[in-house]
Amino acid sequence: MKLHRIRFSISDLRTIPDDERPLLIALAFAINEITVLNKLVAISSHISSGPTWVVQAELAQAMILARTLFGKLSEFWALVQKGYLKSPLSSRYEGILPESACKSLASLKQHFGKKSLTNTIRNTMAFHFSLEHAGAEMPTELPGEELSIYMHPSVGNSLYQFAELLMNFSLYEKIAPTNPEKAAHAVFEELSKVVGDASDFGQWLIIEILARSLGDARLQALLDTVDVPTPPSYLSLSLPFYFEMPAPSPTYRV
């Protein structure tokens, strides 16, 4: 795998205007988090064919990561609004950004301009523990295996499955009542779309800020190629929930 690398100095960064440099750094920082979380969500969706309690745990893990990613996307949009849309940078770069970045920004505006699933999850499940959401109407019947607690001497291998199911059920009822599979599909479909738009717009804006400040010639001079030796195939990866933990140390308990 080959990567294109741009290596710049502190002097290069100082040539970026003071009203643009904070957005450049914050955008790059945000996209790093979105990229890592998105990969973890994708890998965690490779559910094993183990017994029910293993499948339940891995599904819960995938949803926990997805909720966190939704929350980060909501924070990313708040950053774009404050640092770009409500600042002089918007008019400065509006005619410079490529068409794909403009389309991604328009899509993000449409998504966040209405009551979105992203904000609902952010406000009730991702970065907040909502008593109102937890107290929503519960399903009339569920098998006992779905309302379980799996406990282990190591905290890292314990799961309160009943809470995951009830909180997700409350969310699914808002999306597609009586059809949890359809609701779950809608969650991950929306997540994929917003991640794509955020990444496309953010990456292009970062490059354009650098190019405008440093100049195309300087940017090309800073560009080279590096190799990543034998990266694993995405399809070969998984993220198990249960694994053997090391013995706890006197100062740190897992």
The torsion angles phi and psi of 226, rounded to 5 degrees, stand at -130, 160
**Residue 164 contacts residue 171 (beta carbons within 8 Å):** no
- Over the stretch 22-80, which tens digit does the pLDDT of each residue have? 999 999 999 999 999 999 999 999 988 889 899 989 989 998 999 999 999 999 999 99
Q: What is the pLDDT of residue 50?
A: 83
Range with the lowest mean pLDDT among 16-30, 92-106, 108-122? 108-122
pLDDT at 120 over 90: no
What is the structure's pLDDT at 13?
92
Most confidently predicted of 120-129, 175-184, 191-200: 191-200
Q: Tell me the percentage of the chain whose pLDDT exceeds 70.
A: 94
Least confident range from 96-100, 102-106, 130-134: namely 130-134
Range 176-187 average pLDDT:
78
DSSP annotation of 67 reads H
Q: Which residue has the higher pLDDT, 157 or 116?
A: 157
Average pLDDT over residues 79-90: 95
Is residue 186 within 8 Å of 117, Cβ to Cβ? yes
Q: What is the pLDDT of residue 248?
A: 62
Q: What is the mean pLDDT of residues 212-222?
A: 91
DSSP 72-129: HHHHHHHHHIIIIITSTHHHHHTTTS-HHHHHHHHHHHHHHTS--HHHHHIIIIIS--
Contacts 24+ apart (CB under 8 A), 223-229: 223/4, 223/5, 223/6, 224/4, 224/5, 224/7, 225/2, 225/3, 225/4, 225/5, 226/2, 226/3, 226/5, 227/1, 227/2, 227/3, 228/1, 228/2, 228/3
pLDDT in tens, 135-159: 766 777 765 557 889 998 887 899 9
